[in-house]
Structure 1
Amino acid sequence: MQKTKLSREELASWIRLLGTEGIGSGTARNLLSVFGMPQDVFSASLKHLESVVPGKTAHLLLLPPTDDMQAQIEKTVRWMGEPGNRILTLADPDYPPALLEIPDPPVMLYVKGRIELLFKPAIAIVGSRNASRQGCRDAEKFAETLGHAGWTIISGMALGIDAAAHAGGLASPASTIAVIGTGADIIYPSRNQVLARRIAQEGCMISEYPLGMAALASNFPRRNRIISGLSRGVLVVEAAARSGSLITAHVAAEQGRDVFAIPGSIHSPLSRGCHQLIRQGAKLVETAQDIMEELPPLDALVADLVEKADRMDEAEMDEDAERILSALGFDPVDPDRLCERLEMDIAVLNAILLEMEMDGLVELLPGGRYRRLAN
């Protein structure tokens, strides 16, 4: 990994962009694809901005930072200066390759702890906040066993199954990653204070939300796409019929990840979600070995991750961009079809497409398809 660090001015531009009313991650990516870096967005003309975003948003982008925005920037600069803290943007060479495979990668990540874990083969373990004792024991045991086999454990630091999974991951050398739905400076729920401190010291904690962001209900479904996106597969231990864990499982399936579920008693409400997933095609598992037998060999995955990271740092990006432009033609194409045409790894392709977006060579359209802009 390259040890890059945002300057204060660069950081301020990223925070301003994402903090402007009306700009979510999709709009931010569109702006970056047209103008380049955030500072280029703020130096653009009103007319040019209005060709990309609504007039109100364009006007807001040209206003100087408010006092609240300046305070947020200063707060973030101080946070980034603390040991173990790091901010990754889509333009950072250390951005996790696995997240470039998903349709809506976070534009900015706040990272606390061991950043190298974001480049390790990982399994997500999720489940009910109101889990049974047996469910928590299962989650912890599966996590510890998988961790000793080399799999980093990812979860959402909620009570119940999530907390048990993190505890099991911490008991192994592969450790654990907590993807949280608040700012990285807030511990939620407060009962997980001790666990959160351990994860920050021995594992890794990440968030796409700005510092100070409270635990809003709408944050957690979006957080789930990062949990599954960083993982090779998702294990659901216990889940009610209507559960946030099922959202994570369904997103994982859409992202092309494996989904596993532990069956339970037909009389338990906490088994209904897992049974539903199994009926829909999730793999029924009884031991951690059942999961490992379904996944590629760990050595191959490690080598693949290293190769992806190396490929994204290679200097022949221009040559690959030319191949992609040629394969795109002039009709919108989705990345899966491009992969078939180019015989290129999806993570490498998405990384190059992102660079090409920022260089104004291609445009990301609704539905995840790309259109060529260059002649």
Structure 2
Amino acid sequence: MSLGLDDEARIAWLALARAPQVGPVTFFQLLARYGTPLEALSRAGNLRADKDAARHEIEETHRLGGAILCTEDKAYPAALGELSPPPPVLTVFGDQTLLTRPAIAIVGARDASAAGRKIAREMAAALGEAGLVVVSGLARGIDGEAHAATLRTGTIAVLAGGADQIYPPQHEALYREICETGLVVSERAIGRRATAQDFPRRNRIITGLAVGTVIIEAAERSGSLISARMAGEQGREVMAVPGSPLDRRSAGNNRLLRNGATLVRHAEDVIEAISGQIDGLDVRYHPTLPLDPPDTAETPDDSLAERIFEALSPTPIPIAEIARASGCTARQCAARLMELELEGRAITHAGGLASRV
């Protein structure tokens, strides 16, 4: 495979994004500070970036028939580009044109009831026929039903591991059908097996690709409720199907409805709920506010990094809260967090969160 200058810039972008201590927040902070990934790789200390590994990943992805999309690529989905921050890179297998169409996320319980599965199938099929792409996570239960019902009209499966890692294995046939007629998306490198920390990042992409998210059967403390929270933070419509108070699989749905989620029973309700955000095929997203406030003069403060470190805990908390506890602006906090992350003392997470290592 021949690699030109443009390819070398892409390799540097991927190498920076894949560096072990660099998450999406840190990636764009480094880009803002140094201008380009090449400059960041050469000037930022303590980065364990591997350009050879990035080169191999690009070649192997192309060999498997996939593509790697960077946020600056024209093919990168506009919906994800609205997030703060967006995933720096995506690996995709399948029909990339689906990324240009308005989408609805449908998620729910893995151990879904027969009624829940029926609702997912019928709602997804009707939304597909109406021209919407259905996005989900390829999990058992609700996710699988939503994908299977929209293979013909357009479906996107977002994976927690690499785009070539089929999970769960029971969905191998469905995965291969989606690769043929739909699109498989992952933020992670090919070959990477999913870990627990990868699933919230997957959920953020599922909701980020969509105008709104429909929850069908979700127990308390389920991953689907994390998806609902992320959709709300992203300014997207949060919808839930009501369920029996006697079924634990509906406890999360009913709590969402009590807290203000839009009640939906079928596809018509979903289309009505999002009608104000779709004009033909032009979707009007309402992204979260940028991490940084308008430019303000920054007074040198040698003790700030330690105050921020003291404010951190092992549980991810919003950067705005860390800044408030440390007595600084969000911009100052984000800059010091990047330094702490490069030192291996802190971790920044998607969604404007940070934690202590």
TM-score in terms of structure 2 length: 0.76
Structure 2 distance, partners of 1:197, 1:142, is 23
1:234 matches 2:221: no
Report the equivalent of 2:341: none
**Structure 2 counterpart of 1:193, from 172, 177, 180:** 172
Report the equivalent of 2:272: 293
Distance 1:219 1:179, change over 3 A: same
Q: Do the aligned partners of 1:90 and 1:107 also contact (CA within 8 Å) in 2?
A: yes
- Deviation, structure 1 residue 153: 0.2
Structure 2 distance, partners of 1:166, 1:245, is 16
Report the equivalent of 2:140: 159
Report the equivalent of 1:347: none
> Which structure: greater helix fraction?
1
1:59 matches 2:50: no
Report the equivalent of 1:121: 102
Report the equivalent of 1:23: 22
Distance 1:147 1:104, change over 3 A: same
- Deviation, structure 1 residue 98: 0.9
Q: Aligned letter for 1:120?
A: R
1:302 matches 2:281: yes
For 1:47-66, what per-residue CA distance to the aligned partner results, in whole angstroms no more than 9, with x for missing partners? xx3xxxxxxxx1345x8x4x
Structure 1 distance, partners of 2:90, 2:278, is 27
Q: Do the aligned partners of 2:28 and 2:85 also contact (CA within 8 Å) in 1?
A: no
Report the equivalent of 1:139: 120
For 1:323-367, what per-residue CA distance to the aligned partner results, in whole angstroms no more than 9, with x for missing partners? xxxx956479xxxxxxxxxxxxxxxxxxxxxxxxxxxxxx98378
Report the equivalent of 1:35: 34
Report the equivalent of 2:254: 275
Map residues 200-219 of structure 1 onto 2, 5 A cutoff.
Answer: 200-219=179-198
- Deviation, structure 1 residue 79: 1.6
For 1:219-268, what per-residue CA distance to the aligned partner results, in whole angstroms no more than 9, with x for missing partners? 00111111111111110011111210000011111111111111111211
Q: Do the aligned partners of 1:8 and 1:77 also contact (CA within 8 Å) in 2?
A: no
Q: Aligned letter for 1:42?
A: L
Distance 1:262 1:99, change over 3 A: same
Q: Which stretch of structure 1 is more off in the superposition, 99-108 or 115-124? A: 99-108
Structure 1 distance, partners of 2:260, 2:5, is 43
Structure 2 distance, partners of 1:11, 1:329, is 30
1:78 matches 2:78: no
Q: Aligned letter for 1:141?
A: E
Q: Aligned letter for 2:46?
A: H
- Deviation, structure 1 residue 19: 2.8
Q: Do the aligned partners of 2:120 and 2:216 also contact (CA within 8 Å) in 1?
A: yes
1:365 matches 2:331: yes
For structure 2, the 5+ residue unaligned runs are: 286-292, 299-328, 336-357
Report the equivalent of 1:310: none
Residue aligned with 1:164, SS:
helix
Root-mean-square deviation (CA, aligned residues, Å) is 2.8
- Deviation, structure 1 residue 78: 2.4
Distance 1:215 1:304, change over 3 A: closer
The share of aligned pairs that are identical, in percent, is: 39
**Structure 2 counterpart of 1:106, from 87, 95, 117:** 87
Q: Aligned letter for 1:79?
A: T
Q: Aligned letter for 1:158?
A: A
Q: Do the aligned partners of 1:156 and 1:180 also contact (CA within 8 Å) in 2?
A: yes
Distance 1:125 1:367, change over 3 A: farther
Report the equivalent of 1:220: 199
Structure 1 distance, partners of 2:126, 2:268, is 9
- Deviation, structure 1 residue 170: 1.3
Structure 2 distance, partners of 1:6, 1:161, is 45
